Chain A
């Protein structure tokens, strides 16, 4: 009676749980982006006079790089399904390095911009920095999750860890797509 059914028709509960978390996190991003539009269309000068239009090159490249890191994460899930623990860890480690470099560059850009435009200068600056900070925080949490699952996988396989990996992968797909939306929004003046 305790045997696990061989082929499951539905995803595991943990995957559904992550889907719920993503639904609420996506709502947070939605509210932030809606606020950006709300503030923008209730004012004349956007960005305010004297504030430079954000440069598009670096953020666009970075957003695309983050999107590409979804590929090794996806392959790690596939490797896990095939029981190849070593390659799953290797793929995750590869993704982790690129994502960590991404976050470091973003943090550097963020600090750089803060030195010329303070977050408390205007509503524009406030929503700009808040939106970016929330996105970066999500990348940071994703990195911690990856670190944790790599550590767990290093000691062996369990169904619990397999579910956790699929949930963490789902989280990363979401963060990568949210990154596109955040980049598109914050670069709005440069369109």
Chain B
């Protein structure tokens, strides 16, 4: 690394001291007790990709079932379970953990020049709670009691009367636990971004990736509690017979939908905002140009999160609401196009006025923009109430949200996997194989999801496990299924590329793409303390202001913000980014994983009606928290 290699003996000695201070436990214990945001990010990455594989297999079984009319690969009950598991898995156990948990965790502290997250142990807790919620949720499938009422889980279908098994309880309790994990993660990101930016990184010098994560975390913080309340109502109704949704006792079935979509629509932006952030990281690097309209894009990212809270009723246009409500929410749904449009123009303008080099990560971003525009256009048709009332509950809607959630939200994640692979592993991915994988996935996505627009317009309803042969939906469904396997082929090629490159790839060096943000100024992979010296920040693209990082080398020699006497990172003021204090960071701790385990077991006990056992687990959780805080990070 240039900064350290160029340094004199004093600088090298400081780095050696940092190495000693930040060394973590070796082996498995190290992983189980780690508070290093990079290792936590990697655990998020691996876990969420495993859930992605599970959700993908579920999708493939469904597509196989639907390939031709009257298939009997799975029966209707199993199909309903697969459909529900697929939706919940992809949203709660794949996209959010991958985009915020993996990318956010690994990259945010590196991008803002910090040595860790604001609350490292809380960060570990959020990962272990996420893992616990995933295990709890999939236990339902393992014991044959998977939820089967769709990812939106409408009452009265989800009530005890119509879903008497444990499936819905696995859904509700699993998602409450998952929500707790995401809430603490969001709080952690917000404080980290507000307080731990390197001195000099005032808000106008913060990378757009961080703005996107900030907006997504803000949405998570205010949207998830509403889902939690909704799930709590559901469980109180199912377990203790309370009445929230039962019109016979003064309840309202629509209450479930209102609360669910109040969470559910911001959720769409929570999913897609980190993707925007990745796009705004990759585009400047491969076009050799700073993002066009930087302040507007930053504001648009925040505005999307904000307006996202005012559009939820467009999921409920057919529930018999008054016209005035429909008109208001249709208008809000159209207004949100404006901040999205600003970003699309900014991405395109940056590429048009730069000198783009279409390597694999940028290809995925181009695919993303195309899918986002296409999915956005079909979204505009759905914001029109009369048209929506015609196509609700048809495959047209399935086509629309897969273009948005798969095409627009996941493509940048795939591009991001390639883009930051050299940083994380220190090795280059295989470029040619990468480009082939892009074209396979791009073609597969269109072949899978485009025909669904047509089958939807022809009247094919969503969520059916099969269909008769004389309705003319056969060709579209058959093509969709072929596309699904093509898509899978592309994804497998990505996996092969990354695994192969991890073992055999060319050494990447600290900055193989000449990228401008701070994560590229340190070694690949970064050391546990991220930076030998807290880097100097002169703009949102500090790597281009001073490619040799000469100033940082001199600061390392002088010992300016090296902090080589403890587990420390600087804290700054939230707006101006002025140095405020040096905070001591906690190191590895066994308590986050313990607390998460106890909590998960407690939830399982509530689920199986062992309320006394659950109370014991709550007491143990309190004890674990006391033990957690008994170890205080020492001040300087």
Contact = CB atoms under 8 A, between A and B. Distances in A.
Interface stretch (A22-30, A104-112, A181-189): A22-30
Contact of B581 (A5, A24, A43): A5
A27 B224 CA distance: 9
Given A10-B571, A122-B250, A124-B250, A32 B194 contact: no
A17 B123 CA distance: 12
B295 interface: no
A13 B195 contact: yes
Interface stretch (A34-42, A61-69, A86-94, A169-177): A34-42
A20 interface: yes
A20 B221 contact: yes
B560 to A, nearest CB: 8
B222 A123 contact: no
Contact of A28 (B225, B579, B633): B225
Given A2-B563, A4-B582, A39 B244 contact: yes
B574 interface: yes
B245 to A, nearest CB: 9
Contacts of A127: 244
B580 A24 contact: no
B246 interface: yes
Contact of A20 (B191, B224, B561, B562): B191
B250 A17 contact: no
A21 interface: yes
B34 to A, nearest CB: 20
- Chain A interface size, as a band, is 35 or more
Contacts of B262: 31
B414 to A, nearest CB: 31
A158 interface: yes
Given A4-B582, A20-B191, A24-B183, A39 B255 contact: yes
Nearest to B191: A16
B636 A4 contact: yes
A174 to B, nearest CB: 14
A104 B560 CA distance: 56
| Chain A contact residues, majority secondary structure | helix
- Among B221, B226, B241, B562, the one with the most A-chain Cβ atoms within 10 Å of its Cβ is B226
A20 B222 contact: no
A9 interface: yes
Contact of A17 (B118, B236, B559, B626): B118
B215 interface: no
B635 A27 contact: no
Contacts of A160: 632-633, 635
Contacts, number: 142
A10 B573 contact: yes
Contacts of A58: none
Given A13-B571, A38-B255, A21 B187 contact: yes
Contacts of A50: none
Contact of B242 (A28, A120, A159, A161): A120
A121 B195 CA distance: 49
A114 B561 CA distance: 61
Contacts of A126: 236-237, 242-244, 251
A83 interface: no
B20 interface: no
B129 to A, nearest CB: 15
Contacts of B566: 2
B119 interface: yes
Interface in B164-192: 183, 186-188, 190-191
B578 interface: yes
Contact of B194 (A9, A16, A119, A124): A16
A137 to B, nearest CB: 11
A123 B573 contact: no
B242 A119 contact: yes
B222 A13 contact: no
Contacts of A81: none
B599 to A, nearest CB: 15
B243 A31 contact: no
B233 interface: yes
A116 interface: no
B119 A35 contact: no
Interface string A70-88: 0000000000000000000
A1 B262 CA distance: 48
Contact of B635 (A4, A28, A43): A4
Given A3-B636, A17-B119, A39-B255, A10 B195 contact: yes
Contacts of B258: 38
Contact of B240 (A120, A124, A144): A120
A1 B187 contact: no
Nearest to A164: B629
B626 A148 contact: yes
A2 B568 contact: yes
A152 B627 CA distance: 12
A20 B581 contact: no
A23 B122 CA distance: 17
A113 interface: no
Given A10-B573, A31-B229, A125-B243, 15 more contacts: A1-B565, A2-B565, A3-B582, A4-B636, A8-B581, A10-B580, A13-B119, A13-B195, A16-B195, A17-B188, A20-B187, A39-B244, A123-B252, A158-B635, A164-B629
20 contacts: A1-B559, A1-B561, A4-B635, A13-B196, A17-B119, A24-B224, A24-B225, A27-B225, A28-B228, A31-B226, A31-B229, A31-B230, A35-B229, A35-B233, A35-B255, A35-B259, A38-B252, A48-B250, A123-B246, A164-B629
